Every structure is written in C-alpha cells, then in structure tokens.
Amino acid sequence: MDLEQLFNQNKENTIEGRYITLESIEPLLKKHFIKNDVKIIGESVLGKPIYSYQKGHGKLKIYLWSQMHGNESTTTKALFDFINLLNNGSDLAKQLLETFTFYSIPMLNPDGAELYTRANANSIDLNRDSQNLTQPESKILRATFDEFKPDYCFNLHDQRTIFGVANTGKPATLSFLAPSYNEEREVNESRLKAINLIAGINDVLQKYIPGQIGRFDDSFNINCIGDTFQYLGVPTLLFEAGHFSNDYEREKTRKFVFMSLVSSFIILSENDVVDNRNDKYLNIPQNNVVFFDFMYKNVKINYDGNEIITNFVAQYKEELIDNKLNFNAYIVEVGDLKGYFGHFEYDAKGALYQDNFVNFPKEGQIADFNLDKKVFFLNGKIKK
C-alpha cells in the first residue's frame, strides 16, 4: 500500500499550520452532523463545545483524542485526514469500518487551542488531572472512556523541537510510548498489546523516515491520562508529533502521523500483533533533549575585554500576536554545547559577533546580529 499517495488523496486542505482552533475545525465537524457521526458531549471551562466524532460498526473499539494540550495541533490535522479516509468509500475504508468502531475527540481543550497554551483556561494541565478530575474537559474524557469501554486508546500529542533520537543527530519526528501501568514499569498483557502495536508502526515508518522515530520515557505517573488508562487495563499508545527538517508548520509531520494511524489499524485488522515484540520496541532509541533550533559555531566574542571563540544557540518561542502565530528566535545559551545539535547550524569560522544591543549573545535577546559585518542574521536566519 502506498501510504504517501493515500495521504495525498485524503489530506484535509482546509486546515494547516500550527494554530488550529475550534473555529478552524467546526465547519468540518458540522459536515458530519447530518449523518449523526458528530455530537456535542460537553463544554470547556469557557463554555466552548467539545465535539465527538464516531464512525464504524466493528467489534474492536478505538478511542482517540487530540489537543488535550491546546498548542499541540499536528495530530488534530492528521485525525481529520484519517476521518476523510473513513468517508471516501474505498475498500480500505469499508474494511476499517467493518472491523472497528472509532470514537474520537478531535479537540479536547478548545480554550487552550484559542489561547495557544498547553493548559486549559484554568491554567491546568489536563494531562496531570486524570485522578483528581478537577476540570470539565478531564471529566468528559474520563466519562467517555467509562461509557465507550475502548479496546485501545490513542493519546495524541506534539513534542517540542528539542527532542532528538538518542544522540544520532536526527530529530525525533515521531515518538511513541506504551505507558507504564505501575511504578516498576512491568509489562503485562495489556501493555504488551500497545508495545506490539508500536513495534509494528515503527517497522512501517522506518521506510519513510529512517532513524527519526523515538521512544518516550516510560516513568510512571498515575496523574497522566495514558498511565491511568493503561493501569485500568486498556492498551494505550502515546503519539508525540515532533520536528521534521524545515517543517515548523508540521505539515510533513502530519503526514507521518496519518501513516501511523492507518498502519496501526491495518495491523490490528489483520490481527498481526499476536507475538511478543518487546525487544523490537525497546530497540527504538529513546528521546533525548539534544536539539536547538539554531546553533552558531566558532564565533568570536568579546568577553570581559578578551576575545574568545565559542558557540551559542537560539530557540524559537511560539508567540500568538493578534491571532497570528509568530516564531521568534531568542538566544538561550552560550558555551561549548558539546553533544548538542542545531536544526540550523552555521560555522562562523572565527568571525566577530556584533549586534545593536550589547555586542554579546545575551540570554533572552532576540537573535538579530551580524558576523564581521558581512553576514547578517535576522530572527536567527541569514538575511538575504
């Protein structure tokens, strides 16, 4: 199966970029009201509707939710791409709808999505509220879980550009986790099902983004929703959509999330998760914090009256200004930075750093500077 072609055929072109709000997706959801596939299942802190989308009549029940963190929108886009596949009338769509019943919450945290924040409107991280259930969004997620009684859960997130695959110098474009169900991080029958499925997804993705798949840390935290659902005996998969080269809008990454979803359901429908693939799962390298967005090497800097050669790095801060998302690069560290990488790297070869501020790459300063007054950088990038 050509997953690339399948994505191109089903991509939802009305949503793109990183700033995806309820206003972005409501027209798509309302298309399906007439079929009774879409329902309003509750409200956010600020009274915004929280929608569910249900499709299929198969015995195997799949529960998916996205944008639990409002500023993590890549998987929301991929989820709508997948919904398009379910509605395209193809043989694959018919096979999936006969095998599965899909229940998804495309945007659990619409308030956070509009504000472009991780937390909800009460500044609560919903992924730390699975036990206390203090927030309306958390209560909706848990009540739906209890009522729907899924066979598998898909917990869909984004991760920052700082993550790489171990120390390989490759970005973690996608990372997965079969969450632990206890402090000892043991593997029981339920967790093994998630492990086996992730190993299968990894086999597929390695053909498209070799070496760019990571494994998320499995430290147990019962306050996290994935750990809670795994503890309750339902195989749960954490998806973390990460960085692909020059893809800050995460349009390439959404494709790989779509491929992951399709692959997982094909594997399950073909009952191809019966063996023990724990070794293959553990062979997926762990996520590691090894990246900055910009790295400048061998830069000459005046430091306390002395000229030294050093390195410094800058990182994008995603800032919502007038309902438009801006990527603003700020200097974050100066030093040897051994073992770290930049998504963009520049070797200054001893050129002198200068700027319009203090002529020193100061932490928290916008990354506007020049080298020997010959190469000029604006917002981290070379000015053309």
Strand order in the sheet with 353-354: 353-354, 369-371, 375-378, 381-382
Task: Kindly list the distances between the CA atom of residue 378 and the CA atoms of 254, 297, 315, 356, in Å, as whole numbers in the listed order.
Answer: 28, 17, 13, 12
**pLDDT at residue number 52:** 97
Tokens of 45: 């802190």
61 CB-contact burial (10 Å; exposed 0-12 / middle 13-18 / buried 19+): middle
b/e code 142-165 from CB counts within 10 Å (16+ = b): bebbeebebbbbbbbbbbbbbbbb
> Is residue 93 within a helix (H) or strand (E), and if so which, with residue range?
helix 91-99
How confident is the prediction along the chain (384 residues), in pLDDT tens digits per residue? 899 999 999 999 999 999 999 999 999 998 877 678 999 999 999 999 999 999 999 999 999 999 999 999 999 999 999 999 999 999 999 999 999 999 999 999 999 999 999 999 999 999 999 999 999 999 999 999 999 999 999 999 999 999 999 999 999 999 999 999 999 999 999 999 999 999 999 999 999 999 999 999 999 999 999 999 999 999 999 999 999 999 999 999 999 999 999 999 999 999 866 689 999 999 999 999 999 999 999 999 998 888 999 999 999 999 999 999 999 999 999 999 999 999 999 999 999 999 999 999 999 999 999 999 999 999 999 998
Residue 61 to residue 99: CA distance in whole angstroms: 9
DSSP percent split of the chain into helix, strand, coil, nearest 5: 30, 30, 40
The answer to whether the CB of 288 falls within 8 A of the CB of 167 is yes
120/104 Cα distance (integer angstroms): 19
The CATH class given to the 3-288 domain equals alpha beta
In angstroms, the first-to-last Cα distance of the chain is 42
Provide the b/e sequence for 200-233 (b: ≥16 CB within 10 Å): bbbebbeeebeebbbbbebebbeebbbbbbbbee
- Give the pLDDT of residue 254: 98
Q: Are 174 and 243 in contact (CB under 8 A)?
A: no
In this structure, the number of other CB atoms found within 10 A of the CB of residue 100 comes to 22
DSSP labels for 166-202?
TTSS-B-SEEEE---SSTT----HHHHHHHHHHHHHH
User: Edge-to-edge strands of the sheet including 174-177?
Assistant: 38-43, 49-55, 100-105, 60-65, 152-158, 236-241, 174-177, 213-215
pLDDT of residue 303: 84
Domain boundaries, the chain: 3-288, 291-382
Residue from 182, 166, 181, 174 nearest 198 by CA: 174
What pLDDT, on the 0 to 100 scale, is given for residue 272? 64
For residue 84, give the DSSP letter: H
Residue with token string 């096979």: 95
Closest CA to 302 of 334, 333, 338, 331: 334
- pTM value surpassing 0.95: yes
Q: How far apart are CA 381 and CA 292, in angstroms?
A: 14
By C-alpha distance, which of 226, 203, 61 is closest to 142?
Answer: 226
CA 200, 205, 210, 215: dihedral to nearest 10 degrees? -60
E strands present in the chain:
38-43, 49-55, 60-65, 100-105, 152-158, 163-165, 174-177, 213-215, 236-241, 287-289, 291-303, 306-321, 324-335, 341-347, 353-354, 369-371, 375-378, 381-382
User: H helices then E strands: how many in the chain?
Assistant: 10, 18
Helices (H), ranges, 12-90? 22-30, 74-86
Under DSSP, the state recorded for 59 is: S
Residues forming a β-bridge with 215: 176, 286
Rounded CA separation 107/372 (Å) = 49
Angle value at C-alpha 161, between 159 and 164, nearest 5 degrees: 90
Residues 291-382: name the CATH superfamily.
Urease, subunit C, domain 1 (2.30.40.10)
